[in-house]
Structure 1
């Protein structure tokens, strides 16, 4: 695949959408776990209702129905169609541009390409991420709206900033997770082949993606908690002279959310939802990379 090849973009987008469908209920439980205990609309603290991933999964499906586990699937797939397409296409295109021979790849180059691709693609797809998080968190007023109406609703009440709320931690998280996952995957895959442990087959892709997902979960969960809490709270845009932009008790930004979370809930709160994060990243990466590698061989 050369730097001007379109295939990494298409393969990345298709594989990302398939992986999203397969792991979305786990992502919903992760979002609910991360939000509880944090501050939401008008400074209200979200009640703690779930003891863990399995309890959250059972309680959501029992009280709200199985369909609730897929609230936000439409913007999630739309997000992957943009974020996934740009991220993986840009990553492999940048690598091809900087290194013509795959055997000459270096970890530093791969990390640079991955961080760049992650941050750029995540920032561009941020509005879809905001809507996905809010629908997953249980905001029922959004469930009856079409995608265009839901985006308009956020814009009408919160302005353009509402659609890009949490863009900094989102881009930072994407830079971290992509900067860890993709280089680790490539490194493990090539190592297994070079050392004659495994050929370039599905087993190799499975193990490499599983290892890369663990590294991604460890590195990204704290930023993911901050990002989720920022996106879930609503901040009303000014409506006339003297109107307050937001309540004084909600998070004012990434650093404030990080500090308040550690101060009121302890450092371990930054790893809320770690288990579902890893359990989602593992299957997500496995589905994605196996699909991606098969598409590369087929076309």
Structure 2
């Protein structure tokens, strides 16, 4: 790509921010559904919502419509870093490797695309983890202060580990989503080119197909990382017997399944899928239009 190497990074970041604004209320309902029903966390034992629509309605009625967008600014900050690094790294790595293959990049190489996508997703989500932690807590109504003040207080009370709480599950989830979503999108887009051309209908159909696969694959890890991020562990504080903290991804997985059953790993699946579909549609349509305009 030569002197245009910066463009996938800029396009990816801007398109991610646009998509985040368009689908954030669905993400809020997903987070609240995933948090509720935890038998080890006294704050969230109660099942307050029966589903996505019930959560949407109750949140709007009890806390106001504005509550559905609580956490939008750390989410935008996350996309400005995560989206920029993820999509820019993926397309740059993919193109660079394609240029050095024997076929010169004329054939889509699925294993290469999957590796590049998973690497880009895991790396970018690890870097952006502090913004994700704050987003989750604000969506639950635990944080309502100034964005900068929230970050400072979280670091002061919980230390560096607090900022990167759940980073393992977050990186694994992001790598899994990207490893499924981006190669599937590229493959579907190329397969549909003869019928639909490189046009919005093609981008729309490829986005929908990519969303379903990534939602099924990633929801269990999404539940785990959301629960881990929502837990607090203050620096130099010994936990009380009644306060149990997940020690890692496996611990959270096992405790969730033992106390709530396997289907608990798919809490919030409907809003996850319903969000991924529109999110990917908005993202890829915006991304593709930017590519054509500039």
TM-score tier (shorter): over 0.9
Cα gap change, 1:3 to 1:234, in 2 (>3 Å): farther
TM-superposition CA deviations, 1:108-163 (whole Å, max 9, x none): 00000000000000000000000000000121xx21x2221110111111011000
Determine if the alignment matches structure 1 residue 278 to structure 2 residue 273: yes
Cα distance in 1, alignment partners of residues 244 and 51 from structure 2: 27
**Contact persistence 2:23–2:279 (CA under 8 A):** yes
Aligned to 2:188: 188
Cα distance in 1, alignment partners of residues 15 and 40 from structure 2: 33
Aligned to 1:71: 70
**Contact persistence 1:53–1:273 (CA under 8 A):** yes
Shift of 1:198: 1.5
Shift of 1:45: 3.9
Aligned to 2:25: 25
Q: Which runs of 5+ in 2 are unaligned?
A: none
Cα distance in 1, alignment partners of residues 248 and 76 from structure 2: 27
Cα distance in 1, alignment partners of residues 5 and 123 from structure 2: 19
Q: How does 1:146-157 map to 2 (within 5 A)?
A: 146-157=146-157
Determine if the alignment matches structure 1 residue 254 to structure 2 residue 249: yes
Q: Which runs of 5+ in 1 are unaligned?
A: none
> RMSD of the alignment, in Å?
1.5
Q: How does 1:34-183 map to 2 (within 5 A)?
A: 34-38=34-38, 44-100=43-99, 101-139=104-142, 142-143=143-144, 145-183=145-183
Cα distance in 1, alignment partners of residues 52 and 235 from structure 2: 35
**Contact persistence 2:136–2:230 (CA under 8 A):** yes
Cα distance in 1, alignment partners of residues 280 and 240 from structure 2: 38
What is the TM-score normalised by the length of structure 2? 0.95
Cα distance in 2, alignment partners of residues 2 and 215 from structure 1: 33
Shift of 1:44: 4.2
**Contact persistence 1:34–1:225 (CA under 8 A):** yes
Aligned residues: 289
Cα gap change, 1:188 to 1:5, in 2 (>3 Å): same
What is the TM-score normalised by the length of structure 1? 0.93
